[in-house]
Amino acid sequence: MAHPAQKNAAYLPDVAEHDVTVKYYGKASHAAAYPWEGINALDAAVLAYNNMSVLRQQMKPTWRVHGIIKNGGVKPNIIPSYTELEFYLRAPSLKDLAILTERAENCFRAAALATKCKVEIKGGRHDYYNVLQNKSLENSYIENGKELGMEFTTDNYFLNGSSGSTDFGNVTYVVPGIHPYFYIGTDTLNHTELYTTAAGSQEAQFYTLRAAKALAMTALDVVFKPDLLGKVREDFRQIKLKEEGHFTEEDKESGTEATCAKF
């Protein structure tokens, strides 16, 4: 799988990610006549948001938290009885993600305790795993890309900086895979209006098709070059050993761990 970016790169450190929705339940009351009768769920949401901001001071440089208040009340003269926040938590590994998640949930619960609200913390249905690197597949992709005229960046900041998250990471825990990034003719940043426009341009279609050809050529290499397949399998085995212990209990029960070991 490939993703558009500002430069061509066979690998960027896509990180593990956990979605969390936080709901606070308070008690409505007239904000002017008798505010003391209310339990302010918006206060809980604001405290939770600020708690997460304070947590950033003690986070590792590679950790990320970002969120929004989706529901902050109905009218200014009514003490909000319900609020809702949504946060994304990211870390380079599943092990770090578990630590970050625990700390974030403590921040959410602390806000409920301070305001006497009830809190409901619900994680996403599935976490996104970090993408496991397979250098043998990457090298094949780079060779094929160069044959098609692709130039791969050597910018260390771009190659080692923070990236996004993808469910393709989950795939790389089960079978070997690569998730390269490809240039589409612009240096504007992803998830902006300018990048949206650039992605729809005719120029971008050329670069996208070229990246797709490089992926297809790499797949053919795996099929027709037994030595490469052996190296890909060994890379996968080594990276799985390095990541050993990062499986969740759910993964173990579903057999994901056994599948990875068997491959």
pLDDT, tens only, 60-90? 999 999 999 999 999 999 999 999 999 999 9
Predicted local distance difference test score (pLDDT) of residue 161:
78
Q: In this structure, which amino acid lies at residue 60?
A: K
Query: Residue 67: in which H helix or E strand, if any?
Result: strand 64-71
Residue whose tokens read 């790389």: 172
Predicted local distance difference test score (pLDDT) of residue 245:
57
Predicted local distance difference test score (pLDDT) of residue 127:
94
Predicted local distance difference test score (pLDDT) of residue 243:
81
Distance CA 228, CA 230 (A): 5
Predicted local distance difference test score (pLDDT) of residue 90:
97
Distance CA 96, CA 29 (A): 42
Backbone torsions φ then ψ of 84, nearest 5 degrees: -145, 135
**17-123 and 3-13+130-249 share a CATH fold:** no
- As a whole number of angstroms, the longest Cα–Cα distance in the chain is 79
Predicted local distance difference test score (pLDDT) of residue 157:
87
Give how far Cα 82 sits from Cα of 24, 42, 50, 202, Å: 6, 7, 18, 47
Low-confidence ranges of the chain (pLDDT < 70): 244-263
Q: Report the candidate in 73, 57, 70, 75 with the shortest Cα–Cα distance to residue 117.
A: 73
Could you tell me the residue ranges of all domains in the chain? 3-13+130-249, 17-123
Q: Is 236 exposed, middle or buried (0-12, 13-18, 19+ CB in 10 A)?
A: buried
SS3 sequence of 109-164? HHHHHHHCCEEEEEECCCCECCCCCCHHHHHHHHHHHHHCCCCECCCHHHHHCCCC
pTM of the model as a whole: 0.83
Q: Which CATH class is domain 17-123?
A: alpha beta
Distance CA 239, CA 177 (A): 12
Distance CA 234, CA 111 (A): 48
Tokens of 259: 């599948």
CA-atom Rg of the chain in angstroms:
23
Alpha helices of 192-255 — where are they, by DSSP H? 193-199, 202-224, 226-242, 249-254
Q: Which CATH class is domain 3-13+130-249?
A: alpha beta
Per-residue buried b or exposed e for 38-76, using 16+ beta carbons within 10 Å of the residue's own CB: bbbbbbbbbbbbebbeebeeebeeebbbebebebebeee
Tokens of 197: 């426009």
Predicted local distance difference test score (pLDDT) of residue 254:
47
Distance CA 105, CA 165 (A): 21
A 10 A CB-CB count for 2 gives: 18
Distance CA 121, CA 101 (A): 11
Predicted local distance difference test score (pLDDT) of residue 160:
87
